[in-house]
Amino acid sequence: MADVPQLWMRNETRLTERRAPLTPQDAGRLVRQGVRLTVEDSDHRVFPLAAYVDAGCRAAPAGSWADGAAPRSAYVLGLKELPPTPERLHHRHVYFGHAYKGQAEAPALLERFAAGGGTLLDLEYLADAQGRRLAAFGYWAGYVGAALAVLQARGLLEGPLTPMPRAELDRRLRASRAVPPPDGVQLRSIVIGGYGRSGRGACDALVTAGVRVTRWDRTDTAHLDRAALLGCDVLVNAVLTTRPVPPFLTSADLDGGPGRDGRRLSVIADITCDTGSPLHLLPVYDRLTDWTTPARRLGDGLRPLDVIAIDNLPSLLPAEAARAFSADLLPKLLALGTGTPDPDWLRCREAFTEAMTTLRPTFVRDGDEQPAA
């Protein structure tokens, strides 16, 4: 096996982020293949540091990559946002950067990479030649998002949320079936993108809760029936788009459709959470929700409408979500050390390069770029 740059799995600074990009078992597989793997301590990761050490990983204090402990050649592996410092990012960072869709925070993040000469290998863009993502939390994001939506629709969702095993969440969903619908009509749902990874998870949760499910695919969104969206009880958006398209619902639709006197729609769960981006498909809301306040009421009227838009939904089922994601990511991490440039990682890096060219016409990078694979 060719020399493998060190992998450095950082602590997640968001306290509600309990997932890990690698499980201890998969970390051990990397170590046995000769990979040098350091894992930072964390007081909220679902897997204890001792399990990684037992698997052969080195341990490091939380956040020490940012203090210069990680070698310049290391791939710094994580999931969610980086801390605000250091201002100059030197390493190759592998995580979900959410910086290529015009998000408000994107320029500042990309400027940090430009200043330090580092590279963002955004896991959202780690895809095969057909554009299929190779490692994603989509199924569990859809599952949890739809589950929360049903519980909200049945008056059973309370914050703050806490992580739980899937068996407990399923128990709550089955128990929620006993809640009588206020008008005697059983809940009906539409899952937009119902045949994708996130959509499948959402549909499975809705079926567990005894909710009638209608799946929409691209054909349905190409000829959008907004009256149908307003006529269901629960709407789950599981569509990932990379180009601007007409929104599914706007505030005007809510005000003027079956709306004030005939709208059934009472809960929206937006899995994509693209607020602040021109790709936002449900601009009826403009702020994310969180574990403390999982649902936000958009309006009262004769039928209240609540939105759930939590951008780390799978962390509510951290063990299940991490195991599935880690299994997907493992072969791609092994590919970093084959000595041959991996086409999937190269495409991932090209997405970063393209984003940097749109940052501003010219910029100075601190130091030489390092290849992505």
User: Which pLDDT score, from 0 to 100, does residue 372 have?
Assistant: 42
263-284 average pLDDT score: 91
Is the CB of residue 107 less than 8 Å from the CB of residue 126? no
Joined together, the tokens standing for residue 232 give 């269901």
CATH class of 7-125+318-357: alpha beta
Residue 266 CA to residue 304 CA, distance in Å, equals 6
pTM of the complete model = 0.85
- Is residue 44 part of the annotated active site? The answer reads no
User: Which pLDDT score, from 0 to 100, does residue 178 have?
Assistant: 96
133-150 average pLDDT score: 96
Mean of per-residue pLDDT scores for the chain: 90
Distances (CA, A) of 142 to 16, 73, 105, 200: 18, 36, 25, 7
Expressed in angstroms, the distance from the first to the final Cα of the chain is: 14
Q: Kindly tell me if the per-residue pLDDT of 258 is higher than 50.
A: no
Q: Kindly tell me if the per-residue pLDDT of 361 is higher than 70.
A: no
Joined together, the tokens standing for residue 4 give 């493998």
From 338, 234, 226, select the one nearest 295 (Cα to Cα): 234
| Lowest-confidence region among 80-94, 126-140, 163-177, 357-371 | 357-371
Joined together, the tokens standing for residue 129 give 């030649």
Which of 90, 93, 98, 101 is catalytic? The answer is: 98
Is the CB of residue 354 less than 8 Å from the CB of residue 160? no
pLDDT tier for residue 300 given thresholds of 50, 70 and 90:
low
User: Which pLDDT score, from 0 to 100, does residue 259 have?
Assistant: 42
| Lowest-confidence region among 122-131, 260-269, 357-366 | 357-366
Our measurement of the distance from residue 239's CA atom to the centroid of its chain's CA atoms, rounded to an integer in Å, reads: 12
| Those residues with Cβ within 8 angstroms of residue 262's Cβ, 6 or more apart along the chain or in another chain | none
Q: Kindly tell me if the per-residue pLDDT of 210 is higher than 90.
A: yes
User: Which pLDDT score, from 0 to 100, does residue 3 have?
Assistant: 61
- Is residue 80 part of the annotated active site? The answer reads yes
| Those residues with Cβ within 8 angstroms of residue 45's Cβ, 6 or more apart along the chain or in another chain | 11, 12, 18, 19, 20
272-293 average pLDDT score: 92
CATH class of 138-308: alpha beta
Q: Do the domains 138-308 and 7-125+318-357 match in fold?
A: yes
| Lowest-confidence region among 23-32, 172-181, 246-255 | 246-255
Q: Kindly tell me if the per-residue pLDDT of 257 is higher than 90.
A: no
User: Which pLDDT score, from 0 to 100, does residue 317 have?
Assistant: 96
Determine the residue type at 223: H
267-276 average pLDDT score: 92
Joined together, the tokens standing for residue 275 give 């607020």
Q: What share of the chain is helix, strand, coil (3-state, %, to 5)?
A: 35, 15, 50
Q: Where are the domains of the chain?
A: 7-125+318-357, 138-308
From 321, 11, 370, 8, select the one nearest 144 (Cα to Cα): 321
pLDDT tens column, 69-96: 999 999 999 999 999 999 999 999 999 9
| Those residues with Cβ within 8 angstroms of residue 102's Cβ, 6 or more apart along the chain or in another chain | 276, 277, 278, 279
Residue 164 CA to residue 12 CA, distance in Å, equals 19
Sort strands 305-308 and 296-299 into parallel, antiparallel or unpaired. antiparallel
Residue 117 CA to residue 364 CA, distance in Å, equals 8
Q: Kindly tell me if the per-residue pLDDT of 44 is higher than 80.
A: yes
Q: Kindly tell me if the per-residue pLDDT of 367 is higher than 60.
A: no
Which of the 8 DSSP states describes residue 5?
P
Which of the 8 DSSP states describes residue 226?
H
pLDDT tier for residue 371 given thresholds of 50, 70 and 90:
very low
pLDDT above 70 covers a percentage of the chain that reads 91
User: Which pLDDT score, from 0 to 100, does residue 262 have?
Assistant: 67
